[in-house]
Chain A
Amino acid sequence: MNPILLALALVIAPAQARSRKPPPPPPVMEVAPVVDPLATMPTPGPAVAFAPALPETAALSNGVPVWIAPSPTLPIFTLIVSTPRGSQLDANGKEGTAAMAMEVMRRGAGTRDSEAFAAEVERRGLSIGSDVGPGGAWVALSGPTSQLTVGLELLADCLLRPRLDGKEIKKTRELLLAGLQQDLSEPSFVAARTASSLFWGPKHPYGRPAGGTEAGLGKVGAVDVRKWHAAAWKATGATIAVAGAVTKAQLLPLLEAQLGGWALGKAIDVPVPAAPVHAGEPIFVVDAPDSAQTGFYLAFPGLAHGAGAEAPTRLGTIVLGGTFTSRLNALLREEKGYTYGVRAEMDQERAGGTLVVRTRIRTDVTAEALIELNGQLDKMRAGIDAAELQKAFGAARGDVIAALESQAGVAGTLAEALTLGRSPDSVATDLARYAAVQVTDVTAPMALWDRNHAVFVLVGDRKLIEPKLREKGFTNLSFVTPP
């Protein structure tokens, strides 16, 4: 009620109706309280269980295992053939042999020269890509399911009948060398390459750049390329992973026709030396004049694929630098404003691995950032808390699920499990392992983040960063050039 009208009513009421009883109080208006729906953040509902589908498994007559994840929703597929032999077969002094061979395998195969092969692949909407690392090489075929038969013929040509002719090798060498020169203008590339070489040693299979060196690529000839292809691409140890709108019944006869006769060949065992032990290394600096930022690449002793404590180490690494609110990103980006971002991650190979921190830091605060980084690394050895563990588990689970969103991701996940000799339920196993990690499990592996046993590489403008580094007590500096 209007307050003025209410007052008037009270004043005149006695005159209108005398009563011994006081007049009743005016009615109280029932005004619903204003509830701000945004006042309180809702609590998330219960987590939704997730049981990843198992791939179907089979083998070709020569024993090559095939895993298939049928997904009929889209009329496309991705197929990955892998071999466990990669750049570690490169002869010393001829770094880049594998990289060159993998490129040239797609430049003319079977009855088609380079131009005809590319034209046939591309006009059908297919693509054939390849990659190589120290311990393996991969060829991926993807495209419309309607072109599966032709695609497999082209893939088999590429794997078993590449022409590897001298003209294409020469052309590819020129392109790889030019690309390498471009990459060497990129501080992050230089930092990673330099750190790998310093951490593992320049002749170690994991220390030599899989993409090759200028000197190595310059020496690789047709004979080397053909020899590498013959050694690497045998059916022994090869695997096939497929995802997409294909069924086992449809796919296997086609695969058998193309790759069932693939010769096994002799297994090659290339021993991988243990990682050198580092203690009290200097900070290695690569001069990058006029850089606006300093590239950081810090390498710590890590874990091989399949090593114990993989799950707690991964979760601890996520806490350090695997998400936006990770310790390092929160400090160096969000609190200090030193960087656009910082990451910590695990780099794993079959016989060893590294834990890595990489970032790009504003040139003028390079030394300050290094001090802050060291502080955070030292804190990791005290372990993590329950909230951090929960966050890391969520991120790890999210990564696993994200990989299953595309056929290429599914095929890639299966291919990795296959090449590592894991069982078909590897995705579910990984999720269960992450879920089982307790806070206390993470403490011991975090001892790996010991900067006394690490290799630190900074790529930046020496004339600007060196004085400040020395002023802040970083006097043990070693100036190097990238390999």
Chain B
Amino acid sequence: MLALVLAATAAEPSLPFVRYELPNGLQVILMEDHHLPQVVVDTWYRVGSKEEAPGRSGFAHLFEHLMFMGTDRLPGSGFDRVMEAQGGWNNAWTMEDATNYYDVGPSNLLETFLWMEADRMQALGRAMTQEKLDLQREVVRNERRQSLEDRPYGMVEIELCTALFPHGHPYAHSVIGSHEDLQAASLEDVQGFFASWYVPNNASLVVAGDFNVDEAKRWIETYFGGLARRELPARPEPAPVRAPQKATVTITDQVDAPQLNVYWHSPAKYQAGDAEMQLVADLLGSGESARLYRRLVDAGLAQEVSVFQYGLHHGGIFGVTVIPMKGVTVEELDAIVLEELGRLANAPPTAEEMERVRNQHAIATFQELEPLQNRAEALNRYWAYTGSPAWLGKDVARFADATAPSLSAAVAEWLPAAKASRIIVTPQPPVAAEVKP
């Protein structure tokens, strides 16, 4: 189980693991925990939407869906059928920098999980067909409709990319992609993407839970050891971006109230300033004693406010989202948001505020790492972004080390009013059907 203690105790937090590399470049990270009779296999591929070719937005995510469409050895929906038949389950997600697959189930399924992951890492490409592609393309387009188009304010996520990042930047398009690009994806694209990125030297494999390390090592060597290393394509290396592309974007949606979204470029994940910006986000928007909550929601000006720092490999995004109460304009809210940021830039937060955000962050870290799958993913994430799965201690320490003046300095550096980009959603009444009796 997680050997982690509160930063206040001054002990070194850690997620104990064994790490090694196969000759073909596959990174292996093993973490035992016999608390429950469960295992997790979490496979992280260092390829996400930032590696997509021009005109193929959404492809990395579409490919994630195709990874479940079967191989010659385990055709059709065999991956899910076999797993579920024995009480296991799986899922996956794609983001800008990575694609992550995880299998969860009873301990006795570990060898099966490893075989299935190795099987599709080796052989998915040659089993791909136009029919599979067409089917999953429709599923992904349904996901887009459900998650963005029919979700109130959902299209902000699409607009955000071009509002902040210049054309051609790897973050200038959304992970879900456009319908047009999804429809343009071909079978050749799928096979090329698989051959380029789904190779052992672009992946890391975490096994966590109730298993025997020696046995797991043997299985991993058996099933993954024979997979061929391949040279990886060049990755995009964009120049740092600090200025937004669009000052204001206005869109309409079938919603009851307008929404103000203000975004800035911010520090990259796990890089200098990232922790400070996360604490700034908590200080402004997390909990009922947060500054913007009190100024906006408690004062009756807004229905809700949320603030986030989203760090990525090539930079981050800091965002403030506010929905006004009836009769309050987004301009009024915008002025208050900027006023609070200016106040924070000019005067450090109080000791009590620092205590609050540090304690809340520490507790959130504990709670987030309770589920086995989250711990497996954390080890992979640390490895992918920092080169060390043993980064939990540093992760916790950077929040403990952040000071009130360093928060103010981060706000002054990253969140000037002149570098904000706004996406404003205005309500559009729907056109109802002509009602017949």
Contacts and interface: CB of A to CB of B under 8 A. Distances in A.
B433 A289 contact: yes
Contacts of A39: 73
B139 A115 contact: no
A37 B222 contact: yes
Most A CB contacts (10 A, CB to CB) among B9, B256, B323 go to B256
A48 B36 CA distance: 10
Given A41-B82, A171-B298, A186-B151, A340 B289 contact: no
Contacts of A171: 298, 300
B152 A340 contact: no
Contacts of A124: 359
Contact of A48 (B37, B147, B226, B297): B37
Nearest to B435: A479
Contacts of A405: 36, 38, 370-372
A288 B359 contact: no
Contact of B85 (A118, A182, A394, A398): A394
Nearest to B227: A38
A230 interface: no
A407 interface: yes
Given A123-B359, A178-B257, A287-B432, A187 B122 contact: no
A44 B112 contact: yes
Interface string A431-468: 00000000000000000000000000000011100100
B84 A340 contact: no
A325 interface: yes
Contact of A184 (B146, B226, B256): B256
Most A CB contacts (10 A, CB to CB) among B87, B149, B326, B435 go to B87
Nearest to B431: A289
B359 A144 contact: yes
B108 A46 contact: yes
B352 A119 contact: yes
A181 B303 CA distance: 11
Contacts of A287: 432-433, 435
Contact of A398 (B88, B287, B366): B88
B181 interface: no
Interface string A29-47: 0000000111101111111
B108 A48 contact: yes
A127 B361 CA distance: 12
Given A125-B359, A144-B359, A115 B294 contact: yes
Interface string B192-229: 00000000000000000010000000000011011000
B362 interface: yes
18 contacts: A38-B122, A41-B115, A74-B1, A74-B366, A115-B298, A118-B288, A123-B289, A144-B362, A178-B325, A182-B255, A185-B254, A325-B77, A335-B135, A360-B150, A362-B142, A393-B87, A394-B87, A462-B432
Given A38-B119, A340-B145, A461-B433, 14 more contacts: A37-B225, A39-B73, A41-B112, A44-B109, A115-B298, A122-B288, A124-B359, A144-B363, A178-B325, A325-B84, A390-B85, A398-B88, A406-B371, A407-B370
